Structure 1
Amino acid sequence: MPTPGSPQRRFRLADDALWAEYGQACRDVNGSADRSDDIRKHVEAVVAEWKKRREAS
């Protein structure tokens, strides 16, 4: 459930089996089933890399 005032962004992943396996992978790798936190970290890393490449050129 989103917190009050949050933008409530969403994405769709139609493959229920893949989503379940992703949850298990998050538990095994991160020790937590918080998939949204894992996705947030991924997005932050991609943006940081993109900014770094833009500054280098």
Structure 2
Amino acid sequence: MPTPGNPQRRFRLADDALWAEYGQACRDVNGSADRSDDIRKHVEAVVAEWKKRRRTS
């Protein structure tokens, strides 16, 4: 649930089986079924790498 005043971001994944398997993978790998937290961490890592490459260019 979004915090008041913060935008809620969404994306679509049409494959229900893949989404369910991703949830299971998150539980097995991360110990949590919080897929949004896993996606958030991925986005943060990609942006951090991008910023790092821009600084060294």
Give the TM-score, by structure 1 length.
0.93
Rounded to whole Å, the distance in 2 between the matches of 1:20 and 1:5 is 30
Unaligned stretches of 5+ residues in structure 1: none
Name the count of aligned residue pairs: 57
Rounded to whole Å, the distance in 2 between the matches of 1:10 and 1:43 is 13
Runs of 4+ displaced beyond 4 Å: none
Q: 1:4-54, CA deviations, whole angstroms, 9 ceiling, x for partnerless residues?
A: 323111000000000000000000000000000000000000000000000
Q: CA RMSD in A?
A: 0.8
Instruction: Name the % identity.
Output: 95
